[in-house]
Amino acid sequence: MFQDQSFSIPVDHIDCQLVGNFELQDRVEDARRETWAAVCAKRPTAFDGALLRMASHRVDGERLSISASRTCFSAYVATRHPSFASEHPHADRADPLGLTAIVLTADGNVMVTKRSLLADQNPGGLYLIGGYAEPGESDGPVDIFNEIAREVEEEIAVGDVSRSEAVAIGLAYDPVFCHPELFLLMPSKSTAADILSGADAAPDRNEASELLVYSVDDVLDDIGPHKYAALTWSFIKARKFLQLHLR
């Protein structure tokens, strides 16, 4: 775990290098097999996909450097509970790199989602858009912009986020689901109305039960339209980093 870091770093100044595979300790590996068998028994369609593990990071001025390795979803499930550190004090977590996109529309709004009640994490909570970075098949550089742009397109069918204007605005560690999360401001060329009208074509549209439009002021306002909503940790952190970025 590490302290929150706020910054304003263009996406082309993020260097992510993938090297090798992360291996769990033997005892934790046994727990992974047992835990994943239980998950599959409950959800036969569960998929043990490859994830990108953030091994370390460094912020140097307007540049973010990330050292990464490969892990998998089942390793994350086995190591993401808060008590893992006390149960396995000398073992490392899977620590997949989560990505949260604050999608800013051409007419100055922010796309907000409400998580499906069937979601694995934060069911029913107010959220933005995001997922986990995925590793390539071979070692080498990973384009973080491509990773988060893929999530935006899959969840709300928006494929026109501007690479030249996309900015990473913060990095924090989720204490509930135990993984690092990178937050990015992603301007789109589409208006909020355009996005709402086309979002049903998104492959993963069912991840959210509702797609909402908030003004930037609404997102930043503690007594805005989300006053009585269940807020996810990532929504709260995104709001904090956005406040600092816009100051």
- When divided into structural domains, the chain yields a total of 1
Which pLDDT score is estimated for 239?
95
Give the residue numbers spanning the domain of 26. 9-246
pLDDT at 116: 76
**2 lies in a domain?**
no
Is 4 inside a domain boundary? no
pLDDT of residue 228: 85
Distances from the Cα of 131 to the Cα of 72, 108, 148, 197, angstroms:
14, 23, 8, 23
Cα radius of gyration rounded to whole Å, the chain:
18
CB-CB neighbours of 113 under 10 Å: 24
Per the domain annotation, does 103 fall within a domain?
Answer: yes
CATH number of the domain residue 164 falls in: 3.90.79.10
- Asked whether residue 211 is domain-assigned, the answer is yes
- pLDDT for 6 equals 97
The model's confidence at residue 225, banded by pLDDT at 50, 70 and 90, is confident
Q: How far apart are CA 44 and CA 223, in angstroms?
A: 41
Reported as a single tens digit per residue, the pLDDT across 98-132 is: 999 999 999 999 999 998 777 677 778 899 999 99
State mean pLDDT over 20-27: 96
Q: For residue 89, is it within any domain?
A: yes
**Rounded distance between C-alpha atoms, residue 199 and residue 206, angstroms:** 10
Lowest mean pLDDT among 121-125, 126-130, 197-201, 204-208: 121-125
Residue 229's pLDDT band (cuts 50, 70, 90): confident
pTM: predicted TM-score of the whole model, two decimal places: 0.95
Q: How confident is the model at residue 223 (pLDDT cuts 50, 70, 90)?
A: confident
Strand (E) or helix (H) holding 214? strand 208-215
> DSSP alpha helices (H): ranges in 60-127?
73-79, 84-87
Q: Which long-range contacts (CB under 8 A, 24 or more apart) does 144-152 make?
A: 144/11, 144/14, 144/16, 144/66, 144/99, 144/168, 144/182, 145/11, 145/12, 145/14, 147/52, 147/99, 148/99, 148/101, 148/184, 148/186, 149/186, 151/99, 151/101, 152/101, 152/103, 152/186
Q: Flag whether 96 is in a domain.
A: yes
Residue 97 located in a structural domain? yes
pLDDT at 208 > cutoff 90: no
Q: Of residues 232 and 209, which shows the higher confidence score?
A: 232
Q: Rounded to 5, what percent of the chain is helix, strand, coil?
A: 30, 35, 35
Average pLDDT over residues 39-62: 94
Q: How confident is the model at residue 1 (pLDDT cuts 50, 70, 90)?
A: confident
Q: Is 39 a domain residue?
A: yes
